[in-house]
Chains A and B, each alone.
Chain A
């Protein structure tokens, strides 16, 4: 098991290295002069030249890449003399647009995205799995029909429609969930405000995911109930509760780990629509803004971060699956 983990970590490192190369290469082909982008419309040639040297764009591509990569581990110094400044490790570059180290920008945005993704994940797992089990258990009953309607609505309504509808009816018209003007508040500072702040975004984001998970859980439970080993469990004289919880759900829901892990990883890269609708200062909105502003260092860093999260979550899911399913366990 330990050698398996070590091997998988090594693979993950290699993949991340390749991804970073690919992403870095793509940005080299963009038809922009990165130095010219640092000072907007009233740029003078001498300023562009100075910034080019300060940010290292005068060096050959491979050396720039090397500086970028080593910056992640040891930090990076820009410029010389009185204009010198440092982005400490892990440095993902410097955004001239925002006059800040990209890592610091990410440090501000990540907790928002993390709070959004974790809360939504918990919500959609509870609703999706719960409703799916109920629908399977009471197949062809009104509960099942109701869940089918929910699945249809949830999968067909786009996030920007659900989000706006919720915003209009729960906040603007009826004021059930009060509008928040204070901006992001950490759960550690004020849990009550934190929950109010994130409630609508969570519901919006979890809505379509719940529908997909309901559909998956329902069919997985129904399918597993027909397996031979479930018949064996009944033949042993087990209580229906035990057959469902220990035997059926264990087998039916194990593959959900993979699904949930990857969906979660996707959201950590930034839930652009939800963050935009509710004006959450998370990674998604940050990437979107960076793309609009040609803030290349930020785009590069967030792309790489999203890729890293997917690779790491893949690893986590595989390890978790090995714990859940003895057939996957290896040497």
Chain B
């Protein structure tokens, strides 16, 4: 396995007038060639901030980054946190590419598709205009856009949402990047188009042996494409493991809550969808102990530690399966079995 990305103890803080917003609070993860690592969590859990920081796409003046983001390129590893603007710019598009949540607004409305694709290609490869155009047509064909010769001259508003996301994928992959960051790539699309885009991504991943960092809140999408999963809550990873670990043997109460809030057509028919009670904590004043404690139904069953005052650590409970919880492992296994995804629909 070729290691593509190492994130070590990354902290992302936005200083504001009310205090520091700790959007990402010490996350570590790795990504190898050919695998898909998912980051799952609700809005505000820090998953998008994590993905944007890999490309340094925040306003760097207003963000404090601590830790290490090592991007392994053919020429060696580059630390995104400490490199300068120019080194960072050279990583973008060539080593790490990104596709975004909303394909409707991610393409420039004033320039033709061909112009935007060729621009992405030429900034890295310095190809001639005609070569770039050829490459654009080739890429559009690859992502399944019919009549690419003709459509390359068209403008974004002449494409449907699904087609625009295909264009975004073509643009991201035009320089053969080793890492693709997909930030909620299917959230803005309708369900049938979602499936097409996901299978396209998987197909292209096999072809180019890319590592994909997938950011999503949709557990269905995770089940379909991810190899490993990181569940994030309030800026921290609360559970990490293979897809099967997360779906069938969840060990963190937050993951169990997420699983039980998936609407299921095979459900027991109680009629009501369960939701995790309460709200995520403010990222400005995180609680002293476990940040999930106030919403956790198991907090009262914890023996020997206090959820309210001691923050739990991410511990490898099973080989390759990590969770952040004070509750005894045996109790969590029993509870997890109850919440586990009921096959098929997950």
* Interface locus among A102-110, A247-255, A311-319: A247-255
Q: Please report the C-alpha to C-alpha distance between residue A232 and residue B171 in the assembled complex, in whole angstroms.
A: 10
A63 within 8 A of B: no
Q: Are A237 and B105 neighbours in the complex by a CB distance under 8 Å?
A: no
Cβ proximity bits A6-20 to B, threshold 8 Å, 1 near / 0 not = 000000000000000
Q: Please report the C-alpha to C-alpha distance between residue A233 and residue B89 in the assembled complex, in whole angstroms.
A: 11
Q: Return B136 CB to nearest CB of chain A, in Å.
A: 13
A73 within 8 A of B: no
Q: Are B57 and A247 neighbours in the complex by a CB distance under 8 Å?
A: no
Kindly count the residue-residue contacts between A and B in the assembled complex, taking CB atoms under 8 Å apart. 71
Q: Are A235 and B98 neighbours in the complex by a CB distance under 8 Å?
A: yes
A239 within 8 A of B: yes
Q: Are B106 and A232 neighbours in the complex by a CB distance under 8 Å?
A: yes
Q: Which residues of B are found within 8 Å of A238, using beta-carbon distances?
A: 89, 119, 123
Q: Which residues of B are found within 8 Å of A242, using beta-carbon distances?
A: 123
Q: Are B57 and A251 neighbours in the complex by a CB distance under 8 Å?
A: no
Q: Are B123 and A228 neighbours in the complex by a CB distance under 8 Å?
A: no
* Interface locus among A21-29, A81-89, A181-189, A320-328: A320-328
Q: Return B35 CB to nearest CB of chain A, in Å.
A: 22
A231 within 8 A of B: yes
- A237 touching B109 in the complex, CB below 8 Å, given contacts A228-B102, A327-B157: no
CB within 8 A of B109: which of A233, A235, A236, A326? A326
Q: Are A237 and B110 neighbours in the complex by a CB distance under 8 Å?
A: no
A4 within 8 A of B: no
Q: Please report the C-alpha to C-alpha distance between residue A162 and residue B120 in the assembled complex, in whole angstroms.
A: 49
Q: Please report the C-alpha to C-alpha distance between residue A306 and residue B97 in the assembled complex, in whole angstroms.
A: 54
Q: Return B322 CB to nearest CB of chain A, in Å.
A: 30
A62 within 8 A of B: no
Q: Which residues of A are found within 8 Å of B112, using beta-carbon distances?
A: 326
Q: Which residues of B are found within 8 Å of A327, using beta-carbon distances?
A: 109, 155, 157
B315 within 8 A of A: no
Q: Are A231 and B123 neighbours in the complex by a CB distance under 8 Å?
A: no
Q: Which residues of A are found within 8 Å of B295, using beta-carbon distances?
A: none
Q: Are B91 and A236 neighbours in the complex by a CB distance under 8 Å?
A: no
Q: Are A229 and B155 neighbours in the complex by a CB distance under 8 Å?
A: no
For chain B, the count of residues having a C-beta within 8 Å of the partner chain is 29
Q: Which residues of A are found within 8 Å of B102, using beta-carbon distances?
A: 228
B163 within 8 A of A: no
Question: Which residue from chain A places its CB closest to the CB of B102 in the assembled complex?
Answer: A228
Q: Which residues of A are found within 8 Å of B171, using beta-carbon distances?
A: 232, 236
B333 within 8 A of A: no
Q: Please report the C-alpha to C-alpha distance between residue A242 and residue B119 in the assembled complex, in whole angstroms.
A: 10
Q: Return B295 CB to nearest CB of chain A, in Å.
A: 32
CB within 8 A of A231: which of B85, B89, B100, B120? B100
Name B71-122 residues within 8 Å CB distance of A. Answer: 85, 89-94, 97-98, 100, 102, 105-112, 119-120
Q: Return A320 CB to nearest CB of chain B, in Å.
A: 14
Cβ proximity bits A64-93 to B, threshold 8 Å, 1 near / 0 not = 000000000000000000000000000000
Q: Which residues of B are found within 8 Å of A233, using beta-carbon distances?
A: 108
Q: Return A244 CB to nearest CB of chain B, in Å.
A: 13
Q: List, sorted by A's number, 17 A–B pairs whose CB atoms are closer than 8 Å.
A: A228-B105, A229-B105, A229-B108, A231-B100, A231-B106, A232-B100, A232-B108, A235-B98, A236-B93, A236-B120, A236-B123, A237-B89, A238-B123, A239-B89, A247-B108, A327-B155, A327-B157
| Given contact pairs A235-B57, A235-B92, a sample of 7 additional A-B residue pairs in the complex whose CB atoms are under 8 Å apart | A228-B102, A229-B106, A232-B106, A232-B168, A236-B171, A237-B123, A326-B157
> Which chain A residues have a beta carbon within 8 Å of chain B's beta carbons?
227-229, 231-240, 242, 246-247, 250-251, 254, 324-327
